[in-house]
Amino acid sequence: MNRDEILRLYTAGERDFSSVDLSGVNLKDVELIAVNFRNANLSNATSLVISHW
């Protein structure tokens, strides 16, 4: 999944990104609140900040 697809889905209300391949995705200056990344592949994803609520 690429940056544009993540942002499109998030904007549409998607918050469950569990088991998604996000390897190598650049999320610089992107704020994703209350999302589920359980078992997602985040290897080499850059600028990812995760806040727990």
CB 27 within 8 A of CB 9: no
Range of the domain at 8: 1-53
C-beta separation of 40 from 14 below 8 A: no
Q: Determine the pLDDT at residue 53.
A: 57
Q: Report which of 14, 19, 48 is spatially closest to residue 31, judged by C-alpha positions.
A: 48
Number of domains in the chain: 1
How high is the pLDDT of residue 31?
86
Region of residue 32 (left: phi > 0; alpha: psi -120 to 50; beta: else): beta
Q: What is the pLDDT of residues 21-40, one digit of tens each?
A: 999 999 888 888 889 999 99
Q: DSSP secondary-structure letter at 34?
A: S
Quote the pTM value. 0.82
